[in-house]
């Protein structure tokens, strides 16, 4: 069976997705200064749900009627939104952002492993394994290897981040198996609807009524991570899933952290260390290996 590969079009969408999600770390951090982690997730999924369904109704797209599809939406909302968003938002209150970003990059590792287990056209080749490993090392080097010294399996916050990354990886598998055939707009809307059905009542019960009386900075942060980093980003997410498969889709987590570092340097004037440049180089080699061009033999004329 033909194996799933990453086309030039899929790489372009992954890069765009990296830039969108690279800025979400800062926006979530800003929002958490005023609202709780569950409330932050409720805002993220709730506003994205309204925007996506508004688009679907305006375009008069077909809405699925089968109960099994809506059940799949609910599970997808849990795996790709409720569980990872809640775990990581809570973990950011207790551990360093650098370590969170490194652990988040392990999603790519879990992604290719889970995809190889569940799909015959996404086998774990030595090239894919080497590329993902180098990519992860590159991310860790760019962010700072000193953060890995803080890794401790006894830390509940660190385990929460790892649990979130595994949930992301499983979500890619679930999406391809159950709702990968739907239009990206419908799949994204259904997923955030399933998440909202859970997060909004849960946030209300645990953290109290969801207040709309927030500062401008908080609203701007919510607007970014709800509209751009959720509604728009998941349209790209499902498009890449259809083009490249669930394992290749998770490679986006390798490029999110470097984008966040570069955005910090550009917008906040932060200096890039030598380790950052070395890490970017290692990551680039890993991505070239994943792309297959670095190790491919030139074709004879």
Specify the pLDDT at position 268.
Answer: 61
Specify the pLDDT at position 48.
Answer: 94
Is 233 within the bounds of a domain? yes
Is 1 within the bounds of a domain? no
- Length of the chain (residues): 301
Tell me which residue range forms the domain holding 150: 8-291
**What is the spatial distance between Cα 192 and Cα 231, in angstroms, rounded to a whole number?**
9
Specify the pLDDT at position 67.
Answer: 93
Is 120 within the bounds of a domain? yes
Specify the pLDDT at position 74.
Answer: 94
Per-residue pLDDT of the chain (301 residues; tens, 9 = 90+): 677 778 888 889 998 998 898 878 778 878 888 998 889 989 999 999 999 999 999 989 999 989 999 999 999 999 998 898 888 878 877 877 677 778 888 888 888 899 988 988 888 888 888 888 888 888 888 877 777 777 777 778 888 989 999 999 999 999 999 998 898 999 999 999 999 999 999 999 999 999 899 999 999 999 999 999 999 999 999 999 888 888 888 888 888 878 877 776 776 666 677 888 888 888 888 888 887 655 555 555 5
What is the tens place of the pLDDT at every residue in 162-182? 999 999 999 999 999 999 889
Specify the pLDDT at position 1.
Answer: 61
Is 297 within the bounds of a domain? no
Specify the pLDDT at position 271.
Answer: 67
- The strand ranges marked E within 102-180 are none
Is this prediction's pTM over 0.75?
yes
Q: How many CA atoms lie within 13 A of 43 on its CB side?
A: 30
Specify the pLDDT at position 251.
Answer: 84
Residue 122 DSSP code: S
Specify the pLDDT at position 3.
Answer: 75
**What is the spatial distance between Cα 202 and Cα 78, in angstroms, rounded to a whole number?**
12
Among residues 109, 104, 110, 87, which one has the least CA distance to residue 147?
104
**What is the spatial distance between Cα 210 and Cα 152, in angstroms, rounded to a whole number?**
34
Taking CB atoms within 8 Å and a gap of at least 24, the contacts of 200-204 are: 200/42, 200/45, 200/46, 202/38, 202/42, 202/82, 203/36, 203/38, 203/39, 203/41, 203/42, 204/42
Number of domains in the chain: 1
- The strand ranges marked E within 106-235 are none
Is 25 within the bounds of a domain? yes
Residue 125 DSSP code: -
């Amino acid at each position: 069976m033909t194996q799933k590969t990453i086309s030039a079009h899929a790489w372009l969408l992954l890069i765009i997705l990296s830039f969108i999600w690279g800025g979400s770390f800062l926006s979530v951090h800003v929002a958490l200064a005023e609202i709780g982690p569950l409330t932050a997730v409720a805002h993220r999924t709730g506003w994205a749900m309204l925007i996506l369904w508004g688009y679907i109704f305006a375009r008069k797209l077909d809405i699925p009627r089968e109960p099994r599809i809506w059940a799949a939406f609910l599970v997808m909302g849990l795996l790709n939104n409720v569980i990872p968003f809640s775990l990581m938002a809570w973990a950011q209150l207790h551990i360093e952002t650098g370590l969170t970003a490194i652990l988040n990059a392990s999603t790519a590792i879990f992604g290719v492993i889970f995809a190889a287990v569940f799909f015959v056209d996404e086998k774990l080749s030595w090239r894919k394994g080497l590329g993902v490993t180098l990519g992860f090392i590159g991310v860790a080097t760019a962010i700072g290897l000193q953060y890995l010294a803080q890794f401790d399996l006894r830390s509940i916050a660190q385990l929460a981040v790892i649990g979130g990354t595994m949930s992301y990886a499983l979500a890619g598998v679930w999406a391809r198996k159950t709702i990968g055939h739907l239009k990206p707009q419908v799949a994204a809307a259904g997923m955030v609807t399933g998440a909202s059905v859970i997060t909004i009542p849960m946030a209300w019960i645990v953290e109290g009524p969801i207040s709309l009386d927030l500062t401008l900075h908080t609203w701007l942060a919510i607007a970014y991570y709800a509209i751009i980093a959720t509604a728009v980003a998941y349209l790209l997410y499902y498009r890449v899933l259809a083009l490249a498969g669930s394992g290749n889709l998770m490679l986006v987590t390798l490029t999110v952290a470097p984008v966040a570092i570069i955005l910090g340097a550009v917008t906040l004037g932060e200096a890039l260390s030598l380790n950052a440049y070395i890490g970017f180089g290692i990551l680039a080699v890993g991505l070239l290996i994943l792309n297959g061009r670095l190790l491919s033999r030139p074709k004879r004329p």
